[in-house]
Each structure stands twice: as C-alpha cells, then as structure tokens.
Amino acid sequence: MNLPNALTYSHTLLGECVGPGDTVVDATVGNGHDTLFLANQVGPTGHVIGFDVQTAALTATQTQLTLTGLSAQVDLHATGHEHVGDYLDDTTQIAGAIFNLGYLPGGDKTVVTQAATTLTAVKSLLQHLRRGGRIILVVYSGHPGGMDERNAVVDFCQALPQKTYQVLQYGFINQIHHPPFLLAIERR
Amino acid sequence: MNLPNALTYSHTLLGECVGPGDTVVDATVGNGHDTLFLANQVGPTGHVIGFDVQTAALTATQTQLTLTGLSAQVDLHATGHEHVGDYLDDTTQIAGAIFNLGYLPGGDKTVVTQAATTLTAVKSLLQHLRRGGRIILVVYSGHPGGMDERNAVVDFCQALPQKTYQVLQYGFINQIHHPPFLLAIERR
C-alpha cells in the first residue's frame, strides 16, 4: 500500500462522512469523477448538487450519470459555485462538499477557479455544513494565479475558529512540480 | 468519525506497513505507547528496537511489556537514537520507525529531542528502510527550541529525492497551541 495522494484521500474523507440520503455539493464538476463518486455515496434517496461554468464538462458528466443510472439524484447547474447559496434551502444541511481548484485537466487552462469566488462558495457552504460534515478542497497552485488562490484559501482556513471547525492539511512535500494538496474543513 | 489527530494517524500509517515478523524501531520510547503498539504489530516473530535517554521511561515501559506478554520481541536501549545504526546489522531491513519529537509528556521538560541527533537517526534508518516502509515523525514545536527542530526536519524531508521517497505532511492548521503534526517518509 502506498501513501494515497490528495485526490485519492479526498474520496476516503468524503466516504467517511457521506452516506445514503445525504445532500452534498460538487463545487467543481469538471470531468464528473467526484460527481459520480458522490452520487453513489448518497444513493437514490440522496441529492448531489453540482456546479461548473464549463457547459461541455456538464454535458459529458450528465451523459455519464445517465449511462450509470445515477442521474436521478444529481442536479447540475451551469453557473459558478459562488451562487451555491441560491440552490440550498435555508434549512438544508449538507454532509459534504468538494472543490478541485485550478483548471480542468484536458479543458481550457485559462478557465481557473479564483480566490474570491472560491471563498464565497466555502462561506456559503459552511452555513449549511452539518456536524461531522466536511468541505474538501484539493488545491493546485502551479498555474498562473494558483499561488494567490492557494494562499487566500490557506489563510481563510487557518483563521477558522477551532471550537467549531477542525482544518486538516494533507499533502506531499518533497515533489518538485507543485502536486495538489488537500484541505479538509470538518464541523465539530 | 472525527478527523484523526497526528498521534492517531501515526498508528494508522504504521499499521499499514508493519506486520508479523517485521523489524521496527521506536526512536523515542517515552511512555511506551508506540512500543506496545509496534510489539503487537510485529508479534512474537518480529523485533522492536527501542531507544530513550530517560531510564525511568524505559523501566516503566519494560514493566508494561512484561505485564502484557510482549517483552520477548522488544529490546530497549538506554541511549540516544542517533546510535541506532550501531544496533542494526548491515543487512537488516526495517518496515517502520517512529519518532515523537519534543519532550516526554509528564517527564522532564528540559530533556528534548534535538535537530542534529534526530536527523542523524533518520539518515541511519533510511539506509535500512525497505520498499514500502515508513519512518513517521510526530513533530511538536511549541517548546523552546521546538521550531528550530521542526524547521530542520521539514527542510530535510522536503529535500529527499522524490524518485526514492514520498514525504507526507499531515496536520491541523487552525489550532492556536501548536498541535503536533505528522511527517511520513515512505520508501517507494
């Protein structure tokens, strides 16, 4: 067994806090890898709410969901995750959420997540996060602007009150090409 | 389930790479918590080699090992871990090792691990680490001199060649009182 990378570990952490019937958010649908994982986790009685600004990515993901019989429990929205609050009822509690920051591999590398909209989305999600729920951010920083977003997100997480949240940082530190690392915000 | 802290996660990571018959090193025996865990993992056909400069800690641990029937597979040495190379045959391969840096809780707070001797021990252990084996360091930095050791250990780990080793950093980043974090060096 090798030490899991940030992407693999993100699913381990979500698998521990998300179960049948839960509501969860995929803040960056992209290639749909996380969406399908979450749709399986929550099952037919659950709800996955997904966001992406790239409609081609949403179309491809919707096709995969249909082919795998998972589309009933998923709603995809062609808008930025900073609007997530508009798609959650005031009383809705979420069990988990995931962000893949940076650009979509294989997509348009000039379309990248931004610190301001990422943090707007995280703040909205924190208001709905149930106890024991987790918001996971897989942080890439090697692209132009990536370090700014990385620093803003880490600063925000470090300032979260420890009485209410635990924030874990997980990542490899001896790799040359800025591998992604993981931040996990858990509500106590 | 809550996110595990560094101490708990250290046993998860060792449990994945250490099994019956293995040779392992407890570089800082202290209260014996890790020693007993490792003695259980390697079983009666394995070998735990432990080091501590505080003889009272070794005596207490030896008693616990005897009471729990684990003493046969453990050798404790009242010397610093920088001498670990003297206790390993050239051909001995180790499956794992653990360090708890800083001072021994409940012990003499002026007796602390030091960057130079810690790194001497880590370098010796790397020469014996088998593929898939892991050296775990639980790093405390809140005590006087702790930040110096922390920085030296992190710098050393970041410079380890990524073709041969993966180095994971795991820890909470929003807690005020310098909680310990974990470094895991895995040989590929």
> Hey, where are the domains in chain B?
6-187
Residues in chain A, total: 188
Pairing of strands B74-77, B47-51: parallel
Range scoring the smallest mean pLDDT among A19-23, A102-106, B24-28 = A102-106
Q: Which residue of B has its CA nearest to A170?
A: B170
* Superfamily for domain range A6-187: Vaccinia Virus protein VP39 (3.40.50.150)
What's the CA gap between B183 and B188, in Å, rounded? 16
Counted across chains A and B, CB pairs separated by less than 8 A come out at 84
Pairing of strands B23-26, A165-172: unpaired
| H or E element in which residue A13 lies | helix A6-17
Cβ of B173 within 8 Å of Cβ of A167? The answer is yes
pLDDT digits (tens, 9 = 90+) for A154-174: 999 999 999 999 999 999 999
CB B170 within 8 A of CB B155: no
Q: Is A87 on the interface with B (CB under 8 A)?
A: no
Cβ of A168 within 8 Å of Cβ of B1? The answer is no
CB B118 within 8 A of CB B153: yes
For residue B44, what are the CA distances in angstroms to A39, A81, B128?
46, 55, 21
- What's the pLDDT score for residue A156? 98
pLDDT digits (tens, 9 = 90+) for A24-50: 999 999 999 999 999 999 999 999 999
A159-188 residues touching B, CB cutoff 8 A:
159-162, 165-176, 183-184, 186, 188
Of A19 and A112, more confident: A19
Cβ of B3 within 8 Å of Cβ of A13? The answer is yes
Q: Which residues of A6-29 are buried (b: 16+ CB within 10 A; e: fewer)?
A: beebbbebbeebbeeebbbbbbbb
- What's the pLDDT score for residue B176? 87
**pTM higher than 0.90 for the full model?**
yes
